[in-house]
């Protein structure tokens, strides 16, 4: 049977298959109960789904209004599906616009770096391999510059694991705590990004997700007080260009790594650029922006922490709360 890929509405593959199973049950004239959905799911996918997992996914899909429940029977909300797909298509168009901005920013970096030659060929790698490479090279660096949506150094274990880059998160924290690495973060503090990761890590449990987000904030406060070699600064604008620069010990050439971020906790791929001049030029731009941004270790940062906490609460429990 040909399926519409409901992942375009923001679902996981498993959730899309559950929606198709509900549609198939109704098409057969059967009562769309959890038992029938499970039966059609296992027949169509050839996979076993535990009842506890099925009920969790049905709850998530109902919370997102993709399913409605009446008298123990589920109904697919087609209008909600179409609206979600349309919204995501609009978001894709906006991402294309941001990609154009990234291209302009790279051209700006080329100019400021006085590069005379064309950019080197970019090497695209999987996010897992990308962060493993950086984790391995970090021990030979004296300074790391990170321009990111959120300071991963402050994430607790569940969130660090949910990023898919646990080794990187553990390594940067370990080296910082041992005072073997100077860490500089410039972040726009995208709370929707982190709340999305937390919600997935908590399997839809919003209380647990909020607890992990607030823990990340508290970790950041504590780390900044404990470690003089850690600096985290807030830049009050969205960042379209995300990168990591390693400055090696002994004055060797800088290493530069970009990553393509698609939003809601998803990193599409990593990009390695072997250009010493470009890395140095980008480092200068980072240092310029870093100097002019707000220090999260400052006594005056209390209001920003309160604003971030409110944003997490609104995203997870507010009127327009996010969904997985």
**Which regions of the chain does DSSP assign to beta strands (E)?**
67-70, 73-76, 123-125, 141-148, 182-187, 230-234, 243-248, 255-263, 266-273, 294-295
Residue 320 burial (CB count, 10 A): 6
Enumerate the CATH 3.30.870.10 domain ranges in the chain, comma separated: 113-317
- Residue 117: the pLDDT is 45
| Burial of residue 168, with CB atoms counted within 10 A of its CB: 0-12 exposed, 13-18 middle, 19 or more buried | buried
**Would you place residue 154 in the very low, low, confident or very high pLDDT band (cuts 50, 70, 90)?**
very high
**Would you place residue 121 in the very low, low, confident or very high pLDDT band (cuts 50, 70, 90)?**
very low
- The whole-angstrom separation of Cα 170 and Cα 150 is 15
SS3 (DSSP) at 293 = coil
Give the lowest-confidence range in 36-50, 140-154, 273-287. Answer: 273-287
Which CATH number describes the domain made up of 6-84? 1.10.10.10
Enumerate the CATH 1.10.10.10 domain ranges in the chain, comma separated: 6-84
**Would you place residue 236 in the very low, low, confident or very high pLDDT band (cuts 50, 70, 90)?**
confident
Choose among 221, 244, 243: nearest CA to 232: 221
SS3 (DSSP) at 141 = strand
SS3 (DSSP) at 76 = strand
- The whole-angstrom separation of Cα 262 and Cα 320 is 21
Choose among 307, 127, 69: nearest CA to 77: 69
* pLDDT over threshold 80, residue 70: yes
pTM of the model: 0.62
- The whole-angstrom separation of Cα 87 and Cα 112 is 37
Name the more confident of 316 and 93: 316
- The whole-angstrom separation of Cα 144 and Cα 198 is 25
Tell me: domain 113-317, CATH 3.40.50.720, correct? no
């Amino acid at each position: 049977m040909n399926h519409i890929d409901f992942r375009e509405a923001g679902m996981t593959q498993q959730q899309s298959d559950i929606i198709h199973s509900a549609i198939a049950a109704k098409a057969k004239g059967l009562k769309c109960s959890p038992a029938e959905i499970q039966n059609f799911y296992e027949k169509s996918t050839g996979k076993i789904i535990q009842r506890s997992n099925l009920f969790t996914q049905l709850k998530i899909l109902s919370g997102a209004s993709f399913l409605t429940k009446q008298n123990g029977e589920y109904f697919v909300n087609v209008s909600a599906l179409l609206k979600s797909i349309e919204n995501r298509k609009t978001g894709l168009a906006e991402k294309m616009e941001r990609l154009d901005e990234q291209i302009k920013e790279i051209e700006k970096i080329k100019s400021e770096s006085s590069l005379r030659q064309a950019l080197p060929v970019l090497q695209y790698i999987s996010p897992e391999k990308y962060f493993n490479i950086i984790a391995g090279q970090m021990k030979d660096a004296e300074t790391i510059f990170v321009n990111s949506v959120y300071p991963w150094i402050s994430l607790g274990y569940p969130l660090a694991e949910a990023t898919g880059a646990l080794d990187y998160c553990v390594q940067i924290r370990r080296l910082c705590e041992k005072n073997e690495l100077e860490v500089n973060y410039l972040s726009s503090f995208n709370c929707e990004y982190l709340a999305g990761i937390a919600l997935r890590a908590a399997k839809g449990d919003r209380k647990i997700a909020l607890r992990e987000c607030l823990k990340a904030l508290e970790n950041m406060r504590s780390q900044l007080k404990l470690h003089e070699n850690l600096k985290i600064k807030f830049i009050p604008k969205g960042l379209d260009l995300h990168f990591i620069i390693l400055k090696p010990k002994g004055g060797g050439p800088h290493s530069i790594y970009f990553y393509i971020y698609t939003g809601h906790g998803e990193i599409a791929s990593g990009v390695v650029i072997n250009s010493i001049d470009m890395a140095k030029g980008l480092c200068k731009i980072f240092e310029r922006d870093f100097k002019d941004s707000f220090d999260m270790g400052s006594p005056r940062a209390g209001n920003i922490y309160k604003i971030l906490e409110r944003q997490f609460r609104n995203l997870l429990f507010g009127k327009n709360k996010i969904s997985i």
